[in-house]
Amino acid sequence: MRELVLAAKSGQCRILVGEKLANLPKYCGTGKIVIITDKSVSRLHSKDFPKEAEVVEIGLGEGAKTLEAVERIYRRFLSLELDRSAMVVGIGGGVVCDVAGFAASTYLRGLRLGLVPTTLLAQSDAAIGGKNGVNLDSYKNLIGTFRQPEFCLIDFAFLKTLPPQELASGFAEVIKHAAIGDQRLFAFLGKNSAALLSGDEGALEKAISDSVAVKVKVVQGDELESGQRMILNFGHTLGHAIEKTTRIRHGHAVAVGMAAAVQVSVSTGLLKRTEAGRMVSLIEKFGLPTKINFNCALVLDAIRKDKKRRGVEINMVLLSGIGKPVIQRISLDGIAGALKALDGA
């Protein structure tokens, strides 16, 4: 096991990479334990949950990230007569971690919180950093808080139950962290893609630990996303718009978004074509798309509603090299050009 510590204004989080779910109780203290999970995770793993814990199930997918779902959790908290000694533990993917974090950080103005991410996407990214929130209508994470959990327990055993496409999707976030902050991780991913996709625990521990280390460094320097934390949005400006309009997996949409970002990086003269080629090649090694069929007009409309837009421009994370992110304002026309180059139709 490797332990990293994320120390920020909203709290300190112990990130336990390679820890086992069986050891969860020792991190929870003596108060009541309430586990928030979804039906799928509960079906596969509830037999391994602490016997003394209360379990609250939410729905599956982005449709569960609503204020209505959070209200139902509040009412369950109320019926359990929780006080501030209680520990709320989110066990699930990014949606569960977001909802559990938001509910815990707002009930009684803040209950204790721990996270046990069960997908690679959540283990490498979504559960790390202290962002918690829910969607409003079809717009992602418009309502939320910044608050660090006390711990994030990363057990690789969960990954064995993931479908291959879901595992591959999670590697998009690992690739993102390598691209914006760790050239050695980028090289490691290129050399070990087969081992990682097959679930080799030694390779996973290194890749996830190094990926998390990139995010920890960025978040500690800018927890509230007032500046440098924006580099974590690499691939997400277009990725979120593509995900919203095509309904493909988050990681697959981010992969296409990263391919678009390097295309824009080349067109603006920031990035050499050879470096862009390395990026595209790595994405494809993990079975992720770099082109997709989509409606360009719908994607551009979604981007116009992005909170990072300023008039006819939007802040976009580009690369000047592997491990060298640059935040730059790009015109919507420039983004439209990149999208046309990535249309797989």
Which residue of the set 19, 173, 223, 275 is catalytic?
A: 173
Q: Please, what's the b/e burial string for 189-217 (b: 16 or more CB within 10 A of its CB; e: otherwise)?
A: beebbeebbeeeeebbbbbbbbbbbbbbe
Which residue of the set 192, 223, 233, 252 is catalytic?
A: 233
pLDDT of residue 9: 92
Residue 258 pLDDT exceeds 60: yes
Q: Tell me whether residue 45 is one of the annotated catalytic residues.
A: no
Report, as an integer, the average pLDDT of 78-91: 97
Number of Cβ within 10 Å of residue 7's Cβ equals: 12
CA dihedral sign of residues 64, 68, 74, 75 = negative
Q: Which residues contact 337 (CB under 8 A, 6 or more apart)?
A: 267
Which residue of the set 65, 229, 249, 252 is catalytic?
A: 229
Q: For 271-285, what is each residue's pLDDT tens digit?
A: 999 999 999 999 999
Report, as an integer, the average pLDDT of 46-63: 95
Residue 345 pLDDT exceeds 60: no
pLDDT of residue 298: 87
Q: For residue 85, give the DSSP letter.
A: T
pLDDT of residue 193: 97
Q: Tell me whether residue 240 is one of the annotated catalytic residues.
A: yes
- 47 or 295, which is more confident? 47
pLDDT of residue 344: 57
Q: Tell me whether residue 173 is one of the annotated catalytic residues.
A: yes
Whole-model pTM: value is 0.92
Q: Tell me whether residue 225 is one of the annotated catalytic residues.
A: yes
Q: Tell me whether residue 236 is one of the annotated catalytic residues.
A: yes
Number of Cβ within 10 Å of residue 345's Cβ equals: 8
Mean pLDDT of the chain: 93
Residue 21 pLDDT exceeds 80: yes
Domain spans, the chain: 2-161, 165-192+221-342
Residue 310 pLDDT exceeds 90: no
pLDDT of residue 299: 85
Which residue of the set 225, 291, 309, 315 is catalytic?
A: 225
Q: Tell me whether residue 215 is one of the annotated catalytic residues.
A: yes
Q: Tell me whether residue 109 is one of the annotated catalytic residues.
A: yes
Number of Cβ within 10 Å of residue 339's Cβ equals: 23
pLDDT of residue 304: 77
Which CATH number applies to 165-192+221-342?
Answer: 1.20.1090.10
Query: Which range (62-76, 297-311, 314-328) has the least confidence?
Result: 297-311
Residue 257: name the closest of 152, 185, 330 by CA.
330
Q: For 238-249, what is each residue's pLDDT tens digit?
A: 898 898 888 899
Q: Tell me whether residue 252 is one of the annotated catalytic residues.
A: no
Class (C level, CATH) for 2-161: alpha beta
Which residue of the set 215, 249, 252, 285 is catalytic?
A: 215
